[in-house]
């Protein structure tokens, strides 16, 4: 069986998260205005936002860290297509305890768990302290972090990921307080909209849904259908309108 026999993976997504083009442009403009020389993207995936920052800040170089080789290969191809391959490195390695700082700008969107001990519960306070360690004075951190828009009910928790509990996320105010305690000032606070979530959730499964419709009797169809149906159910029956995504632009103090 060749790769052509398999359902496509995330090809309909520009960003791996609920992030619109308009919001991405605003984030990039704010970062580029600080004229960063070095940019680090933690959990970069294929690095679309990193590449756009480098395009907007032509004096900058960047490093993207991830452990998914397929995404990193996609990022390298995108960099080559845009003439950025001499200014960016996509590196397959863990970000835990990374020595790739300090840098002028950090992107960490939906991937703060990469900075935490995988044997321990995810702790955004630990991630924020790591981000503070990795950014230079006067630099910027753009953190994308999940938060509860309201306390989920037991029924909603039961519909989410296995073992979901209230302690998995904080409220927005508590998250911002942790950033301040870690040594940042929150220069910009924004949250993903319902439309951004719907674009992401539908785009995440779009190519696979088309593949399933075209290949109902494929040997992998049954398992793929179960996986995709389970993913969709966790959104529609669990965290939809409950889990939010905060985008915080943070400035280190001192």
Instruction: Compute the distance between CA of residue 121 and CA of residue 219 in angstroms, rounded to an integer.
Output: 37
Residue 2 lies in a domain: no
Residue 243 and residue 140 in one domain: yes
Per the structure, the complete domain to which residue 222 belongs is given by: 197-232
Mean per-residue pLDDT, 62-67:
98
Quote the pLDDT of residue 12: 86
- Number of structural domains (the chain) is 2
Average pLDDT, stretch 210-220?
93
Angstrom distance (rounded) from CA 100 to CA 149? 33
Which pLDDT score, from 0 to 100, does residue 3 have? 53
Q: Tell me if 6 is assigned to some domain.
A: no
Tell me the pLDDT tens digit for each residue of 122-151: 999 999 999 999 999 999 999 999 999 999
pLDDT digits (tens, 9 = 90+) for 157-169: 999 999 999 999 9
Say whether both 157 and 215 belong to one domain: no
Confidence of residue 1 (pLDDT cuts 50, 70, 90): very low
The answer as to whether 171 is a domain residue is yes
Asked if 157 and 243 sit in the same domain, the reply is yes
Q: What is the mean pLDDT of residues 7-22?
A: 91
Range of lowest pLDDT (47-51, 178-182, 215-219): 215-219
**Digit-coded pLDDT (tens) for 94-125:** 999 999 999 999 999 999 999 999 999 899 99
Residue 36 forms part of a structural domain:
yes
Residue 11, pLDDT above cutoff 90: no
- Residues recorded for the chain: 254
206 shares a domain with 145: no
Q: What average pLDDT does the structure give for the chain?
A: 96
**Do 131 and 218 share a structural domain?**
no
Per-residue pLDDT averaged across 34-43, rounded?
A: 98
Burial of 216 (0-12, 13-18, 19+ CB in 10 A): exposed
| 158 and 202 together in one domain | no
The pTM for the full model equals 0.95
| Average confidence (pLDDT) over 9-17 | 90
Residues 93 and 168 in one domain: yes
Is the per-residue pLDDT at 7 higher than 90?
no
Tell me: do 221 and 174 sit in the same domain: no
Helix (H, G, I), strand (E, B) or coil at 79: helix
The average pLDDT across 14-34 equals 97
Q: Which stretch of 95-99, 192-196, 217-221 has the lowest confidence by average pLDDT?
A: 217-221
Beta-bridge mates of residue 190:
247
Same structural domain, 163 and 202: no
Assess whether 202 and 188 both reside in one domain.
no
The verdict on 32 and 130 lying in the same domain is yes
With the CA atoms of 91, 117, 235 and 241 taken in that order, what torsion angle do they form, in degrees rounded to the nearest 10?
-110
- CATH number for the domain harbouring residue 171: 3.40.50.150
Q: Is the pLDDT of residue 77 over 60?
A: yes
Same domain? For 159 and 207 the reply is: no
Backbone angles phi, psi at 51, to 5 degrees: -65, -40
Look at residue 8 and tell me whether its pLDDT is greater than 90: no
Q: Residue 4: what pLDDT?
A: 56
């Amino acid at each position: 069986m060749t790769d052509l026999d398999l359902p496509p993976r995330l090809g309909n997504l520009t960003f791996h998260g609920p992030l619109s083009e308009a919001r991405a442009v605003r984030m990039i403009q704010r970062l580029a205005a600080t004229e960063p020389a070095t940019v680090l993207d933690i959990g970069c995936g294929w690095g679309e936002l990193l590449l756009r920052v480098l395009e907007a800040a032509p004096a900058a170089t960047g490093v993207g860290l991830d452990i998914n080789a397929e995404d990193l290969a996609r990022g390298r191809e995108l960099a080559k297509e845009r003439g950025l391959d001499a200014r960016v490195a996509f590196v397959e390695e863990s970000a835990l305890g990374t020595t790739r700082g300090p840098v002028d700008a950090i992107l960490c969107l939906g991937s703060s768990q990469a900075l935490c001990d995988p044997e321990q519960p995810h702790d955004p306070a630990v991630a924020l302290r790591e981000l503070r360690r990795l950014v230079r004075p006067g630099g910027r951190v753009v953190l994308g972090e999940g938060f509860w828009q309201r306390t989920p009910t037991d029924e909603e928790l039961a519909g989410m990921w296995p073992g979901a509990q209230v302690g998995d996320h904080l409220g927005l105010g508590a998250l911002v307080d942790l950033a301040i305690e870690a040594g940042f000032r929150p220069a910009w606070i924004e949250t993903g909209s319902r439309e951004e979530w719907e674009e992401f959730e539908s785009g995440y499964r779009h190519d696979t849904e088309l593949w399933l419709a075209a290949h109902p009797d494929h040997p992998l169809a049954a398992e793929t259908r179960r996986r995709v149906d389970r993913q969709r159910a966790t959104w529609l029956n669990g965290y939809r309108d409950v889990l939010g995504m905060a985008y915080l632009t943070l400035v280190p103090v001192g």
